[in-house]
Structure formats: structure tokens, C-alpha cells
Amino acid sequence: MKIAWTTDIHLEFLDDKKLDKYLQFLKDQVFDVLLVTGDIGTAGTVCNYLEKLARSLQVPVYFCLGNHDYYGGKIDAVRETVKHIASEIDFLNWLPEVGAARLADQVAILGHGGWADGRLGDYKNSTVRISDFIYIQDLAMLDDGQKLEKMQELADEAAEYFRIYVPRALDMADHVIVLTHVPPFQEAAWYEGKQSGPYWLPFFASEATGNVLQEIMESRPEKQMTVLCGHTHGEGVTDILPNLKVMTGNAQYRKPDINRVFDLEEFAV
């Protein structure tokens, strides 16, 4: 089995001709499953792009959402429309809704987009103002203190999801692949070959999710976990524990690609 992974493809930046070219590029590759770790489009376009991916490729597509997928809309409304389209279209698997699933005999998969939680780095003194605060309606209406509270609420929601479903996945398989959009450790928040500095880290990593994943894997040393994430548009591989690896995917606007094609044997314990 060949497993392709892509992240931060931002298809909203492509015109129809370039979108068709990218879909053909994917079809020309050899893989049996596609994993997508968020930032597929925007609130008004993400479902259309998901449908095009599924209908074009005709292979299972496992995905989570990224922050850009909510731009121009409200979080709950986007999630409802994505849930609906995933239930209607063959091959589409929205991982928070799927829960823990067996990908192969001893390989399971689960995922949640997660959220940067402002707990890492120096949020208080950061002058960074991310576009989430403008284009996601749930955040745009809040003051600065409320924005941080909302970020942490969203991050804690994802962490609790992983607290519930990771043990279930580990019970069914020796190796678990976790999809999330936001890097769950500061060491995995790569940008231009370096780990992100203190003023970007609050928006580039989720301490809440990282704490949960590390705690669980420390208690299950006989199992293995590979986390696939994106968000920072920087590439890097980080070994958090002997049995916990995080791979962060590179991305460029207007140049969607495939980050990696894995052989199933790479996940053998």
C-alpha cells in the first residue's frame, strides 16, 4: 500500500486551469490513500475542493481542516457542511468524525485539525497579528483577551479528542498515524529550516495537544506514533520520544504538491 500525504495546498489560490493541472498531477502519482492535513481552501470553497479531490482520485481521502478552511465563515457552520459532504461522497473521510480507524492490519489512523493555543512562546509581547483574527468570524468579533481564550478553547477541544481516541487507536494497532494541522510541539514548528521564534510560536504550535500525545505515548512504549502536520509551511522531522515522531510539511502558496509518499512497511513496528 502506498500512502500519499499533502498539506496546506490552498487550492483557493489556483484558477480552474491550474487546479485541473494539480488534480491531474495527483492522479499521475501512484498511491492508494491520500492524507491531507488541512488548509485545503476557505469556508466558501473547501467542500467544493474536497469533492473534486474525491471524485478525481477515486481513492480514500482522509483529512482534517486547517485554520484557513474557516476563513470567511464560522467554525461550527464550516464543520457542519464538511460533515455533510463527507457523509454524502464516497472516499471522503473527515477524521474527527471518523474517530480511530484501521488503515491496515497493524496501522490505525485518526486526526483533528487542532488549534494554536498561545501557550508556547511569548504571546503577551508578540506583535504578530494573524489573519485568523480578521477572517474567521468567531475570532474577529472578540477583543484581544477573548481571542486568546477562544484559541485555547479550540486547542483544548482538540486535545480532549486525542485523549479519548488515541488510546482506542493504540488498542487496535501497533502504529498510529495522527493527522493534525497545527504542530503539537514547539520543536515541530518549523519555518525556513529553523524552529519558530517566541513571537510566532503562540500561533504556530499547540501545547495542549502535545502534552496529551506525549503523555499517552510515554505510557505505551511498545507502540509507535507518527504525527503529520503542517500550518507553518516549513519542513522538518522531530523525534519527541523514541516512539513519537512528528513530520511537519513544507508548503508554498500557489504551488501545491505532495509532501511524501510512504510505503506501508515504513509504519511496521
- For 8-43, the pLDDT digits (tens) are 999 999 999 999 999 999 999 999 999 999 999 999
| pLDDT range class, residue 114, cuts 50, 70, 90 | very high
pLDDT at 268: 80
Could you tell me the three cell numbers for 143?
477583543
Domain region containing 245:
2-267
Report the CATH number at residue 210.
3.60.21.10
Angle made by CA atoms 30, 5, 132, in degrees to the nearest 5: 145
Which pLDDT belongs to residue 227?
98
Query: Nearest Cα to 39, choosing from 151, 181, 177, 134?
Result: 181
Residue keyed to cell 510515554 = 218
- Counted domains in the chain: 1
What is the rounded distance in angstroms from the CA atom of residue 103 to the CA atom of residue 100?
9
On average, the pLDDT of the chain sits at: 97
Task: For residues 76 and 74, give the distance between their C-alpha atoms in angstroms, rounded to a whole number.
Answer: 6
At residue 269, does pLDDT exceed 80? no
